[in-house]
Amino acid sequence: MVSTYEFDIAMTLRVQPSGGVEVKLGTQLNTLLSNPRFSDGFFSGVMNGSIDIKDFARRPCSEMDEKDALVLTQWCELSK
């Protein structure tokens, strides 16, 4: 589950036999987790996805270039 100040989004992680990690965020298509790692008791990685909170609607992505790209650092809690 990813929690924002507006709502919660379901998140599913699936570790493949090959060691790759597949992520599903809400109703979005599955995506692969880049650079998955487990260190100091924390599992981390990088993924693409959309969290549609109001703050992001202030400036449409179509008006941004690469230097303006949005990067969101978010934590989530997983359960089995």
Residues 6+ apart with CB under 8 A from 28: 49, 50
pLDDT at 5: 80
pLDDT at 26: 92
- Six-digit token string for 30: 């599955």
pLDDT at 22: 95
Three-state DSSP state, 39: strand
Low-confidence ranges of the chain (pLDDT < 70): 56-75
pTM: 0.68
